[in-house]
Amino acid sequence: MANTVDLFIDLNNAGLDLEPEDLEAYTQQLATDLNEGLAEAAKLARSAEIPEGSKAGEAGFDLGILKAEVNLKNILAVLGWLRNRIAGATLKIEYGDVKLEYRTPEQLEQQLQALENISHLTVRVVKSEPSKD
């Protein structure tokens, strides 16, 4: 397993209700925050970098998606930070055709370790619907 993973964070369905320029600024701020100790590097994702199946942007950058190079030791911390940063959102984690579902950080860690040749992950931040209970 590689020491780092390319983590693509897609904010397009997070329910942020931001205009395109505000979404770009918010995504850039997240990248800046990630660069302050959680990620090896973070930046707005270029359309050519985004894994197949994601939306491609017309201007070279895909609005609402950032790319972070994350040390595998920090992946759980990054996902926890993201969950706290965007309250009321659900994180859906994808690796190619594999969709990870977990209830605890321990389950996520076990599932990540089960992927032998992981090179990138996509995290889709989706607005949570209120439970009907």
Average pLDDT of 5-14?
A: 88
Give the containing element (helix H, strand E) for 80.
helix 75-85
- Which pLDDT tens digit goes with each residue over 77-125? 888 888 888 877 777 888 777 777 666 667 777 777 766 566 677 888 8
Asked if residue 10 lies in contact with residue 65, where contact means CB atoms within 8 angstroms, the answer is yes
Residue 133 lies in a domain: no
Give the residue from 67, 68, 65 showing the smallest Cα distance to 26: 65
Which of 8-17, 27-36, 53-62 has the least mean pLDDT? Answer: 53-62
Residue 16 lies in a domain: yes
Residue 60 lies in a domain: yes
What count of other Cβ atoms lies within 10 Å of the Cβ of residue 77?
A: 15
Question: What is the token pair recorded at 55?
Answer: 């939306």
Range of the domain at 110: 4-127
Residue 121 lies in a domain: yes
Tell me the whole-structure pTM to 2 decimals: 0.73
How confident is the model at residue 61, as a pLDDT? Answer: 61
